[in-house]
Amino acid sequence: MATMLEGRCQTQPRSSPSGRETSLWSSGFGMKLEAVTPFLGKYRPFVGRCCQTCTPKSWESLFHRSITDLGFCNVILVKEENTRFRGWLVRRLCYFLWSLEQHIPPCQDAPQKIMESTGVQNLLSGRVPGGTGEGQVPDLVKKEVQRILGHIQAPPRPFLVRLFSWALLRFLNCLFLNVQLHKGQMKMVQKAAQAGLPLVLLSTHKTLLDGILLPFMLLSQGLGVLRVAWDSRACSPALRALLRKLGGLFLPPEANLSLDSSEGLLARAVVQAASAPLGLWTGALAVLRSLWSRWGCSHRICSRVHLAQPFSLQEYIVSARSCWGGRQTLEQLLQPIVLGQCTAVPDTEKEQEWTPITGPLLALKEEDQLLVRRLSCHVLSTSVGSSAVMSTAIMATLLLFKHQKLLGEFSWLTEEILLRGFDVGFSGQLRSLLQHSLSLLRAHVALLRIRQGDLLVVPQPGPGLTHLAQLSAELLPVFLSEAVGACAVRGLLAGRVPPQGPWELQGILLLSQNELYRQILLLMHLLPQDLLLLKPCQSSYCYCQEVLDRLIQCGLLVAEETPGSRPACDTGRQRLSRKLLWKPSGDFTDSDSDDFEEAEGRYFRLSQQSHCPDFFLFLCRLLSPLLKAFAQAAAFLRQGQLPDTELGYTEQLFQFLQATAQEEGIFECADPKLAISAVWTFRDLGVLQQTPSPAGPRLHLSPTFASQDNQEKLEQFIRQFICS
């Protein structure tokens, strides 16, 4: 079903022939906005700070105090002033002279250090299973270590590095108008590098260009040659040899063998000893193909690189080990409640790890594996918070959720993003931004001029709506707490008022704080960990209070004072309850320290302000693609062909989502990523069970959910959070 939206997005002069100024209004506020800037007052939000709970010293010492006063620099802009020379010839050769002046540190004696490392020495001395024996250091093993190390890396060749930097600088100037980098963020990275310890950088891979652009950018900022991890399977032997001389790292194939393989044992020991270069990223040969495809592009683009605040890994390890508490699987937490066997939510955290299992990870101890997985959650949460929201994501959200006034809603949504501490990657005249966003989405929308100054924007059905839903998902981290709270309120009201009932009727009901906590916890457990981005050091109850606070701050909930209860505005510090004392997070606020037993006497109502119904629906729709995909996956249990491999069953579910989208017109759910997330969640919930087989692990339906009654209970449990 096509969505038809009307917005004033004109290219004609501001004054009409009759002398009246054209309409350009912000909906709901009555104030005219003609320009959009990424600032709140004089400052723009700073994103990407490290965790204050796990790394308090890094949070304080590695933060640049004047970061809000520093602007951006263009890292590919090289002029005469960037070299030591002056003159007309220098202005023509400044790229080449700049590349000659780049500092390339000398290569250290890596083979000798690796041979002396603890892991390799334990292996050679026989102190670990698969070793060569006590006191035996055969030359054959030394040659094998050198062979593996030669496959991993080679000494960088300064001439090739400088030549490649010069060629890449010219190429990037042909590809980009500018590559912006925040000076304050770079100051923090340089301050961390001055400590003399190895600096490891992780990329979130927003584009395929990261494997080349990021090392060049950090080399240009004086951090030296950066080691880049590449996939050896995507490179020919000749290309691998060239990339190793340019600072590339290649993981040996033996490192991913099983733990009981003697060949992989030595390779993993060498890899662990060799991991202390200046930087690590993963790349692919597709980067080069992407660069080549963009070479003939007539329109140059702009790019911006975000660097999160560095933190000490040693400090994190010490702090993280002290924050570990008991956890339960999703099946233990949620399955009894789904089946109606109990109503109380267990007072513990969820253990759900979707980190890919590789050979080097399995070689670690179980405690170290848990540390790596929880560190990845921290890094993912910080990286998502560091990413700027683009104008296409805002436009896709407005089109997908059928907002009528594009100009006003675009300004409102941009301001809401900035108020929540997220950054935006655009600025300029409002009409120009909308025109540019619609031009980027032109393959997925149709623009029809119905009268002078008015445009009818019609999203294309089918893949067009799916693409808009994927773009709008970028806004979910910004409003995630409010969206979780709104869907939890929807689930609480599901059994009390009709789903299509008026907002005034829903506002009459009283919602107790305990009921809200329970619904929020149930939805938190249901949502995937990589979507919720809950840090391991943050307890579920603290997050529940944060969600409730956000709903109050945005005006959706209003506290209802009841006789005999302590006023909700009373933030006096009370004694900590036993239920709260065990929580791993020690950073409690006044609202967190309230006794949970006192929450029984606190009640809330839905606000009756005019903007609340639309905002409530907007928040619910942010999570609706995922929740609807989960509900359809529950309905698919009755017709899915099991047993099957995980990949095969995921493909079955995706085809079902596509078929349902054609019948019902809900194309937002026809996403293969949502199908994968549903299969993984159902596997953790105990709906699907995995058993080994000669052809590999296979999924089959668990006996508990073989009955249609339990399948319907699962679907009904999910659908209570969906706002139609």
Residues 476-488 have pLDDT tens digits of 999 999 999 999 9
Task: Map residue 541 onto helix, strand or coil.
Answer: helix
265, pLDDT greater than 60 = no
Shared domain check, 84 and 185: yes
Residue where a domain stops, chosen among 453, 471, 489: 471
The residue-averaged pLDDT of 95-114 equals 70
Which of 76, 91, 93 minimizes the C-alpha distance to 181? 76
Is the pLDDT score of 237 beyond 60? yes
Q: Please provide residue 283's backbone torsions phi and psi, each rounded to the nearest 5 degrees.
A: -135, -175
Q: Looking at the structure, do residues 85 and 177 belong to the same domain, yes or no?
A: yes
| Residue 569 belongs to some domain of the structure | no
Q: CATH number, domain at 442?
A: 3.30.420
Q: Indicate whether 669 belongs to any domain.
A: yes
Statement: residue 23 has pLDDT above 60:
no
Q: Which one-letter DSSP state was computed for residue 60?
A: H
Residues 304 and 417 in one domain: no
pLDDT at position 240 is 63
Instruction: Report yes or no on 164 lying in a domain.
Output: yes
**Partners of residue 228 on adjacent β-strands:** 248
More confident site: 253 or 170: 170
Average pLDDT, the chain: 75
Which pLDDT belongs to residue 246?
Answer: 66
CA distance 183 to 69: 10
Least confident of 30-39, 123-132, 377-386: 123-132
Residue range 53-82: mean pLDDT, rounded? 82
The alpha carbon torsion through 160, 163, 165, 171 (nearest 10 deg) reads: -130
Measured CA distances, 679 to 548, 645, 664, 672 (Å): 30, 11, 22, 11
- At residue 517 the predicted structure's pLDDT band, cuts being 50, 70 and 90, is very high
Look at residue 296 and tell me whether its pLDDT is greater than 60.
Answer: no
* Res. 21 pLDDT band, cuts 50 70 90: very low
| Predicted local distance difference test score (pLDDT) of residue 281 | 33
Q: Where are the alpha helices (DSSP H) in 461-533?
A: 463-472, 480-493, 503-506, 513-526, 529-532
Q: Which residue has the tokens 């789903």?
A: 499
Residues 80 and 177 in one domain: yes
Question: What per-residue confidence (pLDDT) applies to 534?
Answer: 84
- Structural domain count of the chain: 3
* Rounded-to-integer distance, Cα 555 and Cα 611, Å: 9
Asked if residue 489 is part of any domain, the answer here is no
Position 103 pLDDT exceeds 60:
yes
In a domain, 40, yes or no: no
Q: Tell me, yes or no, whether 243 and 95 share the same domain.
A: yes
| CB-based burial label for 723 (10 Å; 0-12, 13-18, 19+) | buried
User: Is residue 303 located within the same domain as residue 399?
Assistant: no
End-to-end CA distance of the chain: 15
Are 231 and 225 a contacting pair, CB within 8 Å? no
Domain check: are 103 and 211 in the same one? yes
Of all residues in the chain, the percent with pLDDT exceeding 70 is 66
| For residues 416-432, average pLDDT | 87
Tokens at 435, concatenated: 């025109």
Mean pLDDT along residues 428-433: 86
The band of 375, judged by pLDDT with boundaries at 50, 70 and 90, is confident
The pair of structure tokens assigned to 133 is 């024996």
User: Following CA atoms 699, 703, 704, 709 in sequence, which dihedral angle do they give, to the nearest 10 degrees?
Assistant: 100
Higher local confidence (pLDDT), 345 or 455: 345
pLDDT bucket at 355, cuts 50 / 70 / 90: low
647 Cβ contact list (under 8 Å, min separation 6): none
Res. 32: pLDDT tops 70: no
CATH of the domain at 696: 1.10.10
Stated pTM of the model: 0.78
Same domain, 304 and 439: no
With CA atoms as reference, report the closest residue to 481 among 566, 415, 542, 559. Answer: 542
Domain that holds residue 431: 388-471
Amino acid at site 114 = I
Give how far Cα 109 sits from Cα of 106, 126, 149, 359, Å: 10, 25, 12, 27
Query: Based on the domain organization, do 221 and 100 belong to the same domain?
Result: yes
Buried b (16+ CB within 10 A) or exposed e, 295-323: eeeeeeeebbbbbbbbbbeebbeebbeeb
Taking the C-alpha atoms of residue 488 and residue 556, their distance in angstroms, rounded to an integer, is 13
**Are residues 151 and 250 in contact, defined by beta-carbon separation less than 8 angstroms?**
yes
pLDDT tier for residue 567 given thresholds of 50, 70 and 90: low
One-letter identity of residue 593: S
